[in-house]
């Protein structure tokens, strides 16, 4: 409750006029009401006005044969999961597959919307900078995302199709980061 009140006060300080109206999908398991409340407060304070919490699947509800039959997973990719040490237990595989299906479902829903821009967040996002700094960085990145460039063969196309914003624990020189909290590989790339 204290976090929500602080974020609401911060939102008033930042002003309501600076909003992001495109769809913002937040991946949240239905039973994690605490994370949903955190996400609503955080993204509301950042100015996101179109939060969507898509339906997610619990790991316990994953049946691998059904998932393969429905086309979410191929037998070869399922077998490949065994090559990943951290996914050798069935419970870890189920969680990984449920998470992947949830993200793919959100992407499908976003692509079916009429919006040219959308974002997908996890519900456990913890900012590493002030909300003001994050809003500034989001504005810069969204300007780059929505910028168009002339291409000599196809006419006009987008400069960027997708941004992957993630805390990085490894060399991420190919990943543009919002605030570069753990990696310096892309520092300065977007201003």
CA 55 vs CA 26, 39, 58, 116, 155: distances in Å? 10, 15, 10, 22, 38
pLDDT at 178 over 70: no
Within 10 angstroms of residue 148's Cβ, the number of other Cβ atoms is 10
In this prediction the pTM is 0.72
Of residues 16, 37, 15, 10, the one with CA closest to residue 26 = 37
Instruction: Return the structure tokens found at 158.
Output: 């987008």
Phi-psi category of residue 47: left, alpha or beta, with phi > 0 → left and psi -120 to 50 → alpha: left
What's residue 175's pLDDT?
Answer: 42
Position 118 scores a pLDDT of 86
Rg (CA), the chain: 19
Q: Is the dihedral of CA 177, 113, 58, 45 positive or negative?
A: positive
pLDDT in tens, 84-133: 888 888 999 999 999 989 999 998 998 888 887 888 888 988 887 888 88
Beta carbons of 88 and 82 less than 8 angstroms apart: yes
Asked if residues 24 and 119 have their Cβ atoms less than 8 Å apart, the reply is yes
């Amino acid at each position: 409750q204290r976090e929500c009140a602080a974020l609401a006060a911060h939102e008033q300080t930042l002003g309501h006029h600076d909003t992001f109206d495109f769809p913002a999908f937040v991946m949240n398991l239905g039973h994690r009401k605490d994370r949903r409340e955190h996400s609503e407060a955080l993204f509301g304070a950042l100015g996101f006005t179109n939060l969507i919490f898509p339906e997610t699947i619990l790991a316990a509800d994953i049946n691998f044969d059904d998932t393969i039959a429905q086309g979410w997973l191929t037998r070869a990719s399922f077998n490949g999961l065994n090559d990943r040490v951290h996914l050798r237990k069935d419970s870890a595989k189920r969680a990984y597959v449920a998470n992947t299906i949830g993200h793919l479902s959100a992407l499908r829903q976003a692509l079916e919307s009429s919006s040219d821009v959308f974002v997908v967040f996890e519900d456990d996002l913890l900012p590493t900078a002030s909300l003001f700094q994050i809003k500034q960085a989001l504005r810069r990145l969204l300007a780059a995302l929505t910028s168009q460039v002339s291409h000599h063969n196809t006419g006009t196309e987008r400069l960027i199709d997708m941004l992957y914003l993630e805390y990085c624990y490894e060399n991420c020189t190919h990943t543009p980061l919002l605030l570069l909290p753990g990696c310096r590989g892309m520092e300065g790339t977007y201003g």
